[in-house]
Structure 1
């Protein structure tokens, strides 16, 4: 299958004779996979017929697969009419895809950074305009268009209060009080939302109002807001809304984690990952799904250095090994393994006990993806974050849980290596996107991820390589020192 992409790369596209012969061969080729089609849509292919052929292959894929392809292809969409038309057509007929395409385009239209010229903004605005026109042709199109406009109004109101509170010269308790008052005021149309509105962050649910008393303002510099919305079935949906931060890099990382989770589940490997949702609503604002949890820093402080005590307290079972309910320990071990493998592959940096989180049911996960592709503000950072506290939560290096953790790591790593082509092609498509850690060295982004897959190694050697990574992480002294220093800094800030 990959022979076609190699063939396309070997053609001299400035030679009319070679181009004519290549285009004659193209339709006769065996149907290519989605990941190869994505490679043909990358920056290295500019022949319109070849790109149209790749788009035709994407047309045959289902919407489920498209959720990821579309996200990565957004940057080239505006510059490629066949791809833009295809995305518009699919998004107009699918509520979820339409919702996300609209917001991705809104953010790109809002981007006034030096790397996003006016001509690019015009192109994205044209795609948004064409999408709106296409939407009105569908049976429920006019209603969906109205929904997107109402979502815009909601985001404008949230951005307004977020900015006001961030710059207000009052202490945090007064900020919380002011937020609650704002949410409860009927004139701001948040206490009651009629008709129910699909949430921009997660359009599979609709909101009917909010719970003002559950509101909060976080301590950190940008003062993010915690707002709990009420869903149509009466349940709560807490989210964080913040201004002053470009969430596009975090959004990309979460999309890739979600894709990797799907790839693992496809091979019957459920590692209990928690890829919470993130949506940038402009280049300096966005929403994040709030998952009730505790940072490892807070958990070890509360439980005298022991994550095992935290797990035991929330999931007691005297009959189970280590006194923790089997399902909770299983979730903890699997999610630790999943995030160790994925954050290693993506080169996630700036890991410390404040951005490693643990939910009461045992779900372990990472937050804050400001550094990826091997970038790290800390010196001597390990390639993978596996700290002493995490291992202690499994019962130590001599426990059967730790042995299971290692086994899950090896299975996840070898499984994701089989889909390396798809993942690398998605990164190739993002080379020209305005994602900070890709923008620094766009030509090296794919190379950095490829290096971590170690595709030149056999499966056995790849497992040995990953085992060595685990050993290095466990034995690393420097991260322990850095975590301590970080803890002191946070303590003095508080």
Structure 2
């Protein structure tokens, strides 16, 4: 097939439909006196007085027998020798909004000082024509068009229009006369010449000025002769079939009209390519959440006959059950109930500030308000609860818990209500950080609300802000700012990061990872957003005295990571066994030209900016046994100590980075409760979507320790921390560290739903610190069946001395204390995960809407303290007695042995 270049009509979303009204051609015969006697009003019509009277033209778009636009009219113009307007009309609709059935209805209007007896107007239709804007191939018509004018009729845009622009040829039902054949030939010749003229205008035929002038005069003569011949033929045909006359002279008028033939020349815009109609695809309508009937209910009554709606597939195996489907309900798609919205406006418009300031709730209302205050961040307020929060807003000003509930009760789309609410927010008692983070979520879009939350965050110190920085960067996606203006949250992050190198370091790398994310889940809009914030950050750095030095440091960090990324890829994809890869790595690191052996001046490590690195120990490096071949590098520090890291290429570390950040936060929350559980939240920094660095903690996996010490973790602890005077022969500090860390990680990994737990990703340091690594599955996802909710295996308990030893009771006490402390801070954890819902972290991307709900379910929100403690104790005992972990660990060890 030949190449066909075209554009879609949807691309013309800003171009209005245009049409040029050129000229009116035709011959009008004088009205017989017999007709004028019966219709004296005809003698006053302008077209009957003069053959070049002033007519005007209106154009209107119709589709599916309905008008789409208002009529557009030509300007007044006097005519001398011919009715030529030569005027472009712009209709108030874009080409992109035209349906395929769009028609252009054009009416030529005559004027009369006497009102028309039928329309009672002074404007009387001279004639009308209707032309489709798209042809039978759904291609937009363009160029010059010659339209047949139907006398005394206003153009209609009906689907079966009575004023078509082209009259279809009559069926050959009788023998044609010689005169009719001559007329057909003249009309055909006229049409042929018009087609050639159109081709010349489109550039398909070259122009020749002197020859074209002769041709145009000849064409005008042929056209006039063809018009006369066609009109005469039409008159003969009319006389042959007109046998009835009307007493009021209307039939004579119609006969006279039948003998007149007029054509209106118009021109449609030309485009470089053909414009093909494309329909706009809308998403399927929302589906109501109607509960499907149970199987027993189906047997009791016949299933309803319901057709499938858009986007719904029959996923049931049973045909009878498959007919019981979710039904489209248009009310589900409404964000607000119109009746409730009207009621809310009426009720709140009757309430005045002077009355509300002194309003106090009764005992029952106070209890209801306290119940609302206890709601979690996911709890929606009913219409009644929103009205109560608004009614007693001044009473609740001193309760910091009530602010987020009050903001939820305001309809921010109502400008009047928003103007009343904004001043009240500034008078409220200062909220906690967890509530401020909630106000930066997706559901709160009003700038005043988000600006208030930012003002609260300004009071947090840098260390606390660093704990939330990962979520605050993602919260930038929810900012709504004016054109050309940045958001309050972006300004705050940039300002604080300029004044703190640690904040600036992590803000820079968090932004760079998002900018480099070109996956299908990251839109161009968000990449541009993060790039704009990074540009603002660099611009602000240039304005400070130390800014240039900080920019240079960040640039050097980027160069270091680029080199590490290159060497990691070379090692990973190079041929040879692991010893040869290690030798190649040492050689590369030792070469002076690679600038890794000596780093001068010292450079803050991107993973931990508090550490100044001066080089790499080339002889003290390694390549781990893994499919990705991660590197172990020991950096020299300015204090002459080693800082080991793992650098990995080919893996997205953002999910591990998120989990470690939450563990760091929980460690801080537990320490505030004077509960140090000896956690090991090692540092992780994703430097791109496929590379990153991890702090290396010298340790041994539980699988390796058990293998080396014949199935006993207690023997491992005793070998590394011997004390003959202590119980179980293990130094008291080491055993205490082991018990506390086991308790802390059991609680935290349960809350975060960490999956794929086996003995190879449970590690133990010589000092007794137990910790988890490799967080590829979170929020309850697990690749293995029968996985327990909490990872507490018999090997871990054996290291404490068994479940009958006092150490096991002490472990449970620490676990209960950690559970109670973290449960009290559940709102903060939930709000942090809510801010991450729009992120491209794999474990969140799988089910964005259910992320926060899953964490909330594990916090057992709404359950009493006593009831939650009893349930948590049962969870621990069930995890100890479960046979699933034993089977999983055995299967994992068997597979690992096969790989070796």
Q: For this structure pair, what is the TM-score category when the shorter chain's length is used for normalisation?
A: over 0.9
Partner Cα separation in structure 2 for residue 79 and residue 130 of structure 1: 18
Q: 5 Å matches for 1:42-53? A: 42-53=441-452
1:133 Cα shift?
Answer: 1.2
- Aligned counterpart for 1:19 among listed residues 407, 418, 438: 418
1:201 Cα shift?
Answer: 0.2
- Aligned counterpart for 2:750 among listed residues 312, 334, 344: 344
Q: 5 Å matches for 1:268-347? A: 268-347=674-753
1:307–1:392: 8 Å Cα contact kept in structure 2?
A: yes
1:78–1:84: 8 Å Cα contact kept in structure 2?
A: no
What's the counterpart of residue 28 of structure 1? 427
How high is the TM-score relative to the length of structure 2?
Answer: 0.54
1:78–1:127: 8 Å Cα contact kept in structure 2?
A: no
What's the counterpart of residue 647 of structure 2? 241
1:453 Cα shift?
Answer: 1.0
What's the counterpart of residue 354 of structure 1? 760
Partner Cα separation in structure 2 for residue 491 and residue 252 of structure 1: 31
Q: Which has the higher helix share?
A: 1
2:564–2:647: 8 Å Cα contact kept in structure 1?
A: yes
What's the counterpart of residue 148 of structure 1? 554
Partner Cα separation in structure 2 for residue 343 and residue 456 of structure 1: 21
Answer yes or no: is 1:422 the counterpart of 2:828: yes
What's the counterpart of residue 3 of structure 1? 402
- C-alpha offsets along residues 143-168 of structure 1, whole Å, 9 cap, x if unaligned? 11100000000000000010111111
2:445–2:478: 8 Å Cα contact kept in structure 1?
A: no
What's the counterpart of residue 274 of structure 2? none
What's the counterpart of residue 458 of structure 2? 59
What's the counterpart of residue 472 of structure 1? 878
1:21 Cα shift?
Answer: 1.6
Partner Cα separation in structure 2 for residue 88 and residue 173 of structure 1: 46
Q: Which runs of 5+ in 1 are unaligned?
A: none
- C-alpha offsets along residues 182-239 of structure 1, whole Å, 9 cap, x if unaligned? 0000100000000000000000010001111111111111000000000001100010
What's the counterpart of residue 457 of structure 1? 863
| Stretch moving more, 254-263 or 63-72 | 63-72
Q: Secondary structure at the match of 2:694?
A: strand
Q: Which runs of 5+ in 2 are unaligned?
A: 1-399, 480-486
What's the counterpart of residue 203 of structure 1? 609
| Stretch moving more, 106-115 or 136-145 | 136-145
1:303–1:309: 8 Å Cα contact kept in structure 2?
A: yes
Q: Secondary structure at the match of 1:322?
A: helix
- Aligned counterpart for 2:493 among listed residues 87, 93, 110: 87
Partner Cα separation in structure 2 for residue 138 and residue 375 of structure 1: 47
- C-alpha offsets along residues 393-441 of structure 1, whole Å, 9 cap, x if unaligned? 0000000111100000000000011111111110110110111111111
What's the counterpart of residue 378 of structure 1? 784
Deviation beyond 4 Å, 4+ runs, structure 1: none
Partner Cα separation in structure 2 for residue 385 and residue 125 of structure 1: 41
1:79 Cα shift?
Answer: 5.3
1:8 Cα shift?
Answer: 1.1
Answer yes or no: is 1:97 the counterpart of 2:496: no
Partner Cα separation in structure 2 for residue 279 and residue 465 of structure 1: 36
2:602–2:612: 8 Å Cα contact kept in structure 1?
A: yes
What's the counterpart of residue 132 of structure 1? 538
Q: Secondary structure at the match of 1:416?
A: helix
Partner Cα separation in structure 2 for residue 233 and residue 115 of structure 1: 43
1:61 Cα shift?
Answer: 1.7
What's the counterpart of residue 891 of structure 2? 485
Q: Secondary structure at the match of 2:681?
A: coil
1:78 Cα shift?
Answer: 5.6
Partner Cα separation in structure 1 for residue 742 and residue 543 of structure 2: 47
Q: Secondary structure at the match of 2:807?
A: helix
Partner Cα separation in structure 2 for residue 298 and residue 61 of structure 1: 43
Q: Secondary structure at the match of 1:472?
A: helix
What's the counterpart of residue 256 of structure 1? 662
| Stretch moving more, 117-126 or 398-407 | 117-126
Rg larger for = 2
